[in-house]
Chains A and B, each alone.
Chain A
Amino acid sequence: MIQAQSLTKRYGSKTAVESIDFTVQPGKVTGLLGPNGAGKSTTMRMVVGLDQPTSGSVIVNGKPYREHKAPLREVGVLLDAKAVHTGRSAHNHLLALAATHGIPASRVREVIELTGLQSVARKRVGGFSLGMGQRLGIAVALLGDPATLILDEPVNGLDPEGVLWVRHLTRSLAAEGRTVLLSSHLMSEMALTADHLIVLGRGKVIADAPVDDIINASTRSTVRVRSPRATDLAALFARPNVTVTSVERDVLEIVGVTAAEIGDAAAGAGLPLHELAPISGSLEDAYMALTQDEVEYRTGGGTAEPEPERSPSELQEVAR
C-alpha cells in the first residue's frame, strides 16, 4: 500500500508535483497515467526516497521507505532501465544489490531465469538492448520478493511477447495480494493491465478511479447509423443533449442516445437501417478528454505523441 498526502515537489520555480493525495491499494494493478512532464516519474522517485518531497509525505506499507529495515523486501522498483553500471554484468549487478540485504545467490539465479536473462547474464550490461535492460530492471524489482512493486514504463522497449509477459506478471503479482503501481504511455496496454487509474496532469491528480469508471465518465458512447434516409433519421433526433454528425452521405454518428432507442425510433418511423453499431469509448479517448488542457509539451499537430519521458532531475542533469 502506498499513501501520498499533499505530496509536492518543486525543482526551482517549476512545480513537478503539486499537493497530490492518492492511495495505491494492494491486490490490484494501479496505473499511473499522464502526459510527459505530468509528474509520474517524480512521484515514483519520491516514493522510494530518491527525490525528497518539497512538502507533504508519502509512505509505503505504513512507513516512509527509508525507515524500513529491509527496503528491498518492501518495495521492488523499476525506475529507469538505465539504473545499472554499463561496465558490470547483469549477474554481478543483481549480486551486488542482493548482498546489501543478505539475499542469497540462489535468488539471483531465480530472478534471472524468471526474466529470461540466462543467456546474457554474464555479459556486460552496456551491450544490452532496451528490452533486455527492462528485463534486468524487472529482475531487480523482484529480487527482494517485495509486497509492493513500482514499475515506471515497464513495457518500454519490450517486444510483443515481452509486453504480454509483463502484463501477465503484473496481474499475477496483484492477484497474490501485492500492491502494483505502474506507469505507461500505452493507454491500450493500461486498459488491459490496470484495474485502477490515477491520471496526472501538470502535477495534479485529474482522475483517481477504476478504469471502467474513467472510460464511462470521460467518453460518451457514440452510435454509428447507416441508412439510405439519413436526413429523415437525423430529424428524429433533433433535440437537446443529442448530437448528430453526418459522417458520410448515408452515415450518421449519434451521441446521447442508445442504439436501442435509435432502432426503436427508426422502426416507429418506418425508416430502413443498414447498420446500427454502438462504438464504446476507449481509454485513449478518455485519456485525451481528461488531459486535453493538461499537456505540457504539445507538439505542433496538437496531439501529444508519446515519447520517452525525462524526469525533471534528468533535465537538470542535461542542462548542467
Chain B
Amino acid sequence: MSTLTAQNPSATTDAAPGLPAPLPASGSGLSFGGILRSEWIKLRSLRSTVWSFALVIVVSLGMALLMSTPTASVDNMVFPEEQQLGIVLSATTFGIFFGQMIVAVLGVISVTGEYSTGMIKSTLTAVPRRLPALAAKMIVMFVATFIVGVISTVGSYFVASLLLAGNDISADLFDPLLLQGVFGGALYLGLIAVFAQGIGAILRSSAGGIALALGILLVLPLVLSMIPGEWPDDVGPYLLSNAGVEIFMQTGFSVIEESWQNLLVTLGWVAVSLGLAGLLLKSRDA
C-alpha cells in the first residue's frame, strides 16, 4: 500500500521559475497575411520542398539539353521559321511533363505530411476556422510552383537556344507562342500542385493521395484511350492532363480549341478538388 501523504498544494513553496514575459497585445491577432507568412515559412523550411523544386528545374533543363543536342542528321538542313519555333517550344516545355509528376507528389505530401506527423493539430489550433489555413497553403504553393515553373521554362529556352544555334535554329522568347509556353507551362504546374493539395486534404494519406493524383493525371488518359467506342474520344479532351497541356502548347488534337477554354476545364478540376477538400476539412475532426 502506498504511504504517500497527500500534501496541501498551497503548502509547496516552490521558487517561481522564470515566467514568460508578458507579450504586448498590439499587432498579434490572427490575420490572413499572417497565415500566408506562416505557410510560406512552413513550405520553405522543409527539405522535401527544396529538393522537389530543384528537381523540377534540373529535369526541365536536362530535357531541354537532350532535345536540343545537335545531331549530324539535321546538320545541313534549313528549317522554316515556323518549324524552328516549334522545335524551340517543345524543348522549352518538354520538362513540364516530368515536372507535373514531381509537383503532384509535392502537393499531396505538403498536406498529408501534416496529418502523418500530427502537425495538422498545431496548424488548426492556430487557425481554428480552418479554411484560411487551407487557402493560404494553396496560394503559397501555387505562387512558389509558378515561379519555379517560369525558371524551368525560361532556363530551358536558353539551354535550347544555345545548343540549337549550332543548327541555325532559333526563336524569339517574346514570340506569343513561346510566351504562352513559358507562362502557360508554369501556370499548369502551379495548378497541378494545388489540385494535388486538394487530393491530399481529401484523402489525408500520402500513399493514397499520390496514387490518386498521379492516377488522374497519367493513368486515366491512358485507360480511356484503350476503351473502344466513341465516348472516350468525347470525354478525353476534358481530362485534367489533356486539357492542361493545351494551356501551354496547342497540340491540334483537342476538340477544345481555345487555350482559355482548356484553362477553364483545368480550373474546373482544381475547383472540384479544392471545394471537396475545404468541405471535408471544415466538417471532419482533425
Contact = CB atoms under 8 A, between A and B. Distances in A.
Interface of A: 29, 45, 48-52, 65-66, 68-73, 77, 79-80, 82-89, 92-93, 95-97, 99-103, 107, 110-111, 114, 140, 142, 144-145, 164-165, 167-169, 171-173, 175-176, 188, 191-195, 211-212, 215, 279-285, 313
A100 B119 contact: no
Which residue of B34, B125, B285 has the most chain A CB atoms within 10 A of its CB atom?
Answer: B125
Contact of B38 (A69, A96, A145, A285): A96
Given A50-B285, A100-B37, 11 more contacts: A49-B125, A50-B124, A65-B128, A73-B23, A83-B121, A99-B41, A145-B22, A168-B16, A176-B19, A191-B9, A280-B6
B28 A70 contact: yes
A168 B17 contact: yes
A86 B283 CA distance: 26
B17 A101 contact: no
Given A82-B117, A145-B23, A87 B46 contact: yes
B228 interface: no
Contacts of A145: 20-23
Contact of B9 (A144, A195, A313): A195
A71 B125 contact: yes
Given A70-B28, A282-B4, A88 B125 contact: no
Contacts of B23: 73, 103, 107, 144-145
A111 B286 CA distance: 26
A182 to B, nearest CB: 13
A92 B41 contact: yes
Nearest to B15: A168
Contact of A193 (B8, B9, B16, B41): B9
B251 interface: no
Contacts of B125: 48-50, 71-72, 77, 79, 83
Given A101-B28, A212-B8, A86 B3 contact: no
Contacts of B37: 99-100
Nearest to A288: B2
Contacts of A82: 117-118
A171 B13 CA distance: 10
A165 B5 contact: no
A102 B34 contact: yes
A265 to B, nearest CB: 24
A101 B28 CA distance: 5
Contacts of B39: 96
A87 B28 contact: no
B31 A102 contact: yes
Nearest to B115: A317
Q: Which 3 A-B pairs have the closest CB atoms?
A: A66-B128, A145-B23, A92-B45
Nearest to A111: B20
A215 B7 CA distance: 10
Which residue of B6, B14, B18, B45 has the most chain A CB atoms within 10 A of its CB atom?
Answer: B6
29 contacts: A29-B9, A48-B128, A51-B285, A52-B283, A66-B128, A70-B29, A71-B127, A79-B121, A84-B118, A85-B119, A86-B117, A87-B46, A87-B113, A92-B42, A96-B41, A96-B42, A100-B126, A101-B28, A101-B30, A101-B31, A110-B20, A145-B21, A169-B19, A171-B14, A173-B19, A191-B6, A280-B5, A282-B2, A313-B285
Given A48-B125, A50-B121, A73-B25, A194 B30 contact: no
Contacts of B12: 171, 192
B48 interface: yes
B39 to A, nearest CB: 8
